[in-house]
Structure 1
Amino acid sequence: MLPQVFVLSAQGDRLVYRDFRGDGGSEDLAAAFYRRITALPGARAPVFLAQGGRHFAHVRHAGLYFVATLLPGAAPFLAVEFLCRLVALLRDYCGALNEKTLGLNFALVYELLDELLDYGYIQTTSPEVLKNFVQTDPVLGQPFSLLDLSTVGLFGADTQQSKVAPSCAAARPVLPLRGEQGVRPEVFLDVVERLTVVIAVNGSPMKTDVQGEIRLKSFFPGCSEMRIGLTEEFCVGKTELRGYGTTVRVDECSFHNSVKLEEFERSRILRVNPSQGELTLMQYQLADDLPSVLPFHLFPTINHDSSGRLHVYLKLRCDLPPKSHAVNVCLHLPVPRATLSLAQELSSPEQTAALQPNSKSIEWVVPRAQGGSQLSALFKLEVPGLSRAMLRELGPANLSFEVPAYTCSGLQIRFLRFAGPQPKLPYRWVRYVTHSESYVVRLSAAG
């Protein structure tokens, strides 16, 4: 039972709130949740105890908090699973999910919540069932067009000739608007990998971890069985060896319960009957044994003098294949808290760097880094009374970036086919992306 469900912005503003039982009490539960979640340390559990024996369960997506309250005795994992499905449904109905789209579609969101829950009890989360009852059309913030090349998305469609659907191509409502004619059926199959790395002072990797997903998003109503062929040399665990080519290995993997695995052991083929909407077909993990080199290597040089000047020279080498590139590269470097000013010399004019006064850190932004290229930056910091203790406040450096059309594990999709005759064969997009928000490089404190 989930008595209350609400959505908050990253600043704690209440965007959606529904009290299904009217027992929320006089205290603002949304404000109470935000006070408690911001007071917790960095590792925040998805479920934690609130006042009066009531618990909060929450998930985060696109900077928003999706929250449900639980009464004593309720299953916490049920609440977390419901919130994850709520996020998926809102993405299916509204397209891109953010604070703006929620504001534009508040009537649709409340109608969905009323169909999902009755007096706090979950009724259904099936898109096939809900589309028979939900009547409100989504409000689109900006109509999508493949000819709109103003935005380079996560999958890096730079030009129309690249023949790669940008990220915004799948960020639109799954169900067509009433009266909309001629909408072509499409299927997006995305292989998304999240890379987490920690590199020691001497440049050797201390930790490498890849969390991967195969996501399917279908805009094709009445789709028959779909067959998805993975790399034939794909193996799970270190003891299994398949084929004679380059082996693609993961430590472990799991599948959605709707995926049929009769052909997986023999031919590495997944079979599924997808409904309209988004579905995570497979999740996998690989740790400490990447088949490819790390995308970036950072070579720092740190010098200082007695007058309080600190010189930090950073050489960033992109070790991707020459035909690959990274976008939205951002290096975050904490500096001594006593730093007063920053002077900079960057290797190219499209790069930017700035000293963030609140966090006392440098943010070096590189829009695009080609594989095999080398970038550099010289930062001159004014630090009065510079001491060895202050030098220990420098670093570690943290990189965030996105690499379109690339996977660290080497996993590839061999084919995407439909079984049986189709009245109209849909457009099929297969996309790959590797991204990282935690690529940590430790620096020498001594300089």
Structure 2
Amino acid sequence: MSASAVFVLDLKGKVLICRNYKGDVDMSEIDHFFNLLMQQEEEGLVCPVMSHGNVHFLWIKHSNLYLVATTNKNSNASLVYAFLYKLVEVFTEYFKELEEESIQDNFVVVYELLDELMDFGFPQTTDSKILQEYITQQGNKLEVSKTKVPTTVTNAVSWRSEGIKYKKNEVFIDVIESINVLVNANGSVMSSDIVGSIKLKTMLSGMPELRLGLNDRVLFALTGRKSPALLTKLFEVTKSVVQDEVSPGNNVLCVCVCVCTGDKGKTVTMEDVKFHQCVRLSRFEGDRTISFIPPDGESELMSYRINTHVKPLIWIESVIEKFSHSRVEIMVKAKGQFKKQSVANNVEIRVPVPSDADSPKFKTSTGHAKYVPEKNWVVWSIKSFPGGKEFLMRAHFGLPSVETDEKEGKPPITVKFEIPYFTVSGIQVRYMKIIEKSGYQALPWVRYITQSGDYQLRTNN
């Protein structure tokens, strides 16, 4: 079960708009939400789920709004929260910025969207591209499209319209991996993981079927292949087409997928794999083929997480000397611990400095450094950082002559970067097969990107 009703409130708890989907919860129950929220804030503990009697409030805050769903059943909380965040996404697509003024100025559009997004407490059409085909707006007024309601609303392929045409048919595939690393002051990696996603930009005519193959070790086992050397025969797996129904809603695959990195059979385990609703799960579970009819334009085909030990790609060593009543000197050395043929772009190394520091002076072996006083850090920017290289940055700050007794915390050094044509996990797109009844030729393009996520290195200084 999902939500009984959905409310949008301002920061004072006033209802701006609401939609009653099931009628099994008194709409006046929302009056208790804000009192419960204020009570919890006073106690210093705010819970995402609050209850009044047998009525439960599930809520999120966005900008100057509260989005609240009510239910009196044992509902699927994950589904309710996914729907609330989807509301934010759809409203943002329509109004660019979602805030109180957006709701007030576009009341009719918002109500129409609430009516289409959910039916009797269950999510329905939640793709903003499809919604925009028949719920359009000009200024602050709702304009009902003169054309008939798209068949995507009622057919099995609810995420793609019929009759799409392109002069040049192309598919762009981005494999993006973000590295999360926490290194302690002794130089040991305390935690690390990889969060990845495969994103598509589809510019294809008609209603094509796509089949995507990864270097999936489970596929080797199912087809009797034990070595990455046999990957050239992977097309044989896709000769037969399984005519299975498209699963509705988001497809979350609760299994682990082993991916061969190509390094002498070394494997990693992909966890929390989540597919777009267009992917045929039964086909994937049968022969590991990712088969789907893609949405038009940009979409995220799948996401995954790899919980593994990751060697920091950019290693940072720092020495900070603080001279009482005088100055502080900072020396930072950065080393690229990735392949020499790769280059990290737009590297930013943020080094914390004392809040009372002034009169900055810098010297760098490459790039440039600047002081950001409102953040109390130095940003060392390096446009291009080749693998295997080392660079130095020295900073000198003056300190006030009056010593304070305040003991400041020691924020970590944080690093931002992006490495194109490179993935840490070694996941690779082996093929993309495009099948369309007209038989046109289409070009698939693949790009790999590794970027920093939550990348922190603690210091002793």
Tell me the TM-score range normalised by the shorter chain. 0.5 to 0.7
Report sequence identity in percent: 22
Match of 1:282 among 279, 292, 302: 302
> Would the alpha carbon gap of residues 322 and 414 (structure 1) be closer, same or farther in structure 2, given more than 3 Å must change?
same
Structure 1 contact 2–68 (Cα < 8 Å) conserved: no
Paired residue type of 2:308: D
Gaps of 5+ in 1: 140-173
Larger Rg: 2
- Is the CA contact (8 Å cut-off) linking 1:7 and 1:67 kept in structure 2? yes
Once residues 312 and 262 of structure 2 are traced to their aligned partners in structure 1, the CA distance between those partners, rounded to angstroms, is 26
| 1:230–1:412 Cα contact (<8 Å) kept | yes
> Is contact 1:185–1:220 with CA below 8 Å preserved after alignment?
yes
Aligned to 1:18: 17
Instruction: Return the offset for 1:296.
Output: 0.5
> What runs of 5+ residues in structure 2 fail to find an aligned partner?
21-25, 140-158, 220-254
- Give per-residue Cα distances to partners, 1:304-353, cap 9 Å, x unaligned: 3243311111112223333433334333333334x231513142685342
User: How far apart in 1 are the matches of 2:88 and 2:413?
Assistant: 32
Query: Using a 3 Å threshold, how does the CA distance of structure 1 residues 49 and 188 change in structure 2: closer, same or farther?
Result: farther
Report what 1:417 is aligned to.
Answer: 433
Amino acid aligned to 1:301: V
Count of matched residue positions in the alignment of Structure 1 and Structure 2: 392
Cα distance in 2 for partners of 1:7, 1:189 equals: 39
**Aligned mates of 1:29, 1:406 — CA distance in 2:** 48
- Asked if residue 3 in structure 1 is aligned to residue 5 in structure 2, the reply is yes
Between 295-304 and 16-25, the greater mean CA deviation after superposition = 16-25
8 A Cα contact 2:166 2:204, kept in partner: no
- Tell me the CA shift for residue 197 of structure 1: 0.5
Q: Is the contact made by 2:369 and 2:378 (CA closer than 8 Å) also made in structure 1?
A: no
Contact 1:4 1:24 in 2 (8 A): no
Deviations 1:64-110 (A, max 9, x none): 9883332343432221121344466568x66x96669x969957666
Q: Distance in 2 between matches of 1:64 and 1:363?
A: 31
Structure 2 residue aligned with 1:317: 335
> 1:212 touches 1:285 (CA, 8 Å); kept in 2?
yes
Is the 8 Å Cα contact of residues 259 and 427 (structure 2) preserved in structure 1? Answer: no
* Displacement after TM superposition at 1:300 (Å): 0.5
Aligned equivalent of 1:353, options 360, 366, 370: 370
Q: Secondary structure at the match of 1:115?
A: helix
* TM-fit CA distance, 1:394: 3.5
Change (3 A) 1:127 1:240: closer
In the other structure, the counterpart of 2:411 is 395
How far apart are 1:203 and its partner, in Å? 2.2
CA distance in 1, matches of 2:448, 2:138: 28
* Equivalent position to 1:207, from 186, 191, 197: 191
The equivalent residue for 1:190 is 174
SS at match of 1:125: coil
Distance 1:302-1:111 versus aligned 2 partners, 3 A rule: same
Q: Deviations over 1:340-398 (max 9, x none)?
A: 315131426853422333x4333444444333343332222333479898786333212
Structure 1 residue 378 and structure 2 residue 406: aligned?
A: no
The verdict on how the C-alpha distance between 1:274 and 1:325 changes in structure 2, with shifts beyond 3 A counting, is same
State the distance in 2 between where 1:76 and 1:58 align.
12
Which residue of the other structure, out of 237, 254, 262, is the alignment partner of 2:273? 254
Distance 1:31 1:333, change over 3 A: farther
Aligned pairs (5 A) from 1:65-84: 67-73=67-73, 74-84=75-85
Q: Against the structure 1 CA distance between its residues 360 and 35, is the aligned structure 2 distance closer, same or farther, given a 3 Å change threshold?
A: farther
- 1:406 maps to 422
SS in 1 for 2:136: coil
Normalised to the residue count of structure 2, the TM-score between the two structures is 0.65
- Describe the shift of the 1:243–1:36 C-alpha distance in structure 2 as closer, same or farther (beyond 3 A): same
Distance in 1 separating the partners of 2:117 and 2:110: 10
Cα distance in 2 between the residues matched to 1:26 and 1:434: 45
Structure 1 length normalisation: TM-score? 0.67
Cα 1:221–1:356 change in 2 (3 A) is: farther
The code of the aligned residue for 2:396 comes to K
Tell which deviates more after alignment, 128-137 or 326-335.
Answer: 128-137
- 2:57 and 2:127 map into 1 onto residues whose CA distance is 28
1:186-235: per-residue Cα shift (whole Å, max 9, x none)? 53433222211011223232221112222345454643321101025579
Q: How does 1:61-100 map to 2 (within 5 A)?
A: 67-73=67-73, 74-86=75-87
Whether contact under 8 Å (1:233, 1:245) holds in the other structure is no
SS at match of 2:361: strand
Counterparts of 2:305 and 2:60, CA distance in 1:
24
- Letter paired with 2:362: E
Instruction: State the AA in 2 paired with 1:307.
Output: H
Q: Which AA in structure 2 matches 1:3?
A: A
Match of 1:272 among 292, 297, 302: 292
Give the root-mean-square deviation of aligned CA atoms: 5.0
Q: What corresponds to 1:142 in structure 2?
A: none
